[in-house]
Amino acid sequence: MRIDVETATDWLVLEQIAPDALQGGSEKLPSRLSALMDDESEWDEMVIPELKEFFNGQLRKVADTVQAAQSKGDPEAESPEGEVFIGREDGLEWYGALNQARLALESRYQFGPAQEVSELEAFPAPKRSAFIRSQFYCALQSVLLGHVLE
Amino acid sequence: MQSGVTITETKEKTSTELEGTWNVVVFDDPVNLMGYVTKIFEKIFGYPRERAEHLMMTVHLAGKALVWTGTRERAELYAQQLQSYQLQASLEKAG
């Protein structure tokens, strides 16, 4: 899959995937996912550290891929156009990183069900831009799901 | 001596509690895409598409679904796999 980047804003949105996940407390995600596990499972010691490392790896992969794609562009060029490739083997990592970002944004801003345009306009600016990013991440996930994930 | 006896009894009780049949339960969340959840059920449990979709819809509509039943050890493995795909999962003693 290829993402054609046409503007500086496009790069900013792609760069924001990992920070969105991290600022929303992605390090707490493994604990949230396993909150209902019983004490006998020793999940805190045995599983959560592995999940943390696994989820961090997804964010590193996406951040590195975006950064590498940016560095391939011509720094002297007026246009910031570029291409980001997501191979089939990287699909799950991308999907997971986008999911982390969406979970974090939802947890932080509580968007709830699909918003009406009028509601969206009433959001404070940070929440509105977070909602738009979340929608973009969701659209990207849908494409990954339909065309990249096996 | 008293202390040793107490520890042995506790371990036996814990071991007994972990025996038997366990359910793996998946909970709904506001983010995961329906198609993704279906795909994960197919991938982890090897369920046919129809069964995976039915379980996904149960999670979506009822808030949770029992997705597998069996030994504690296997149930823990499945719960860990589900969580690695960012689905909230837990175990419940069956029966």
Give one DSSP letter per residue of A76-135, joined into a string.
T-SS--EEEE--GGGHHHHHHHHHHHHHHHHHHH---SPPPHHHHHHS-HHHHHHHHHHH
Over residues A85-108, the pLDDT tens digits come to: 999 999 999 999 999 999 999 989
Confidence at B40, pLDDT banded by 50, 70, 90: very high
Cβ distance of A138 and B79 shorter than 8 Å: no
Q: Are residues B64 and B25 in contact, defined by beta-carbon separation less than 8 angstroms?
A: yes
* pLDDT surpassing 90 at residue B3: no
Of the candidates B33, B76, B88, the beta carbon closest to that of A33 is on: B88
**Average of per-residue pLDDT across A108-136:** 83
- Residue A91 CA to its chain's centroid (Å): 12
Q: With a cut of 0.90, is the ipTM above it?
A: no
CA nearest to A144 within chain B: B36
- Model confidence over B41-86: pLDDT tens digits? 999 999 999 999 999 999 999 999 999 999 999 999 999 999 999 9
Q: Which whole number is the average pLDDT over A39-44?
A: 81
Chains A and B: how many Cβ contacts under 8 Å?
64
3-state secondary structure A119-147: HHHHCCHHHHHHHHHHHHHHHHHHHHHHH
Other beta carbons within 10 Å of A99: 25
Look-up of token digits 């982390």? A100
Q: For residue A143, how far is the Cα from the chain centroid?
A: 14
Is the torsion defined by CA of B61, B67, B72, B78 positive or negative? negative
Interchain contact A10–B (C-beta under 8 A): no
Average pLDDT of chain A is 88
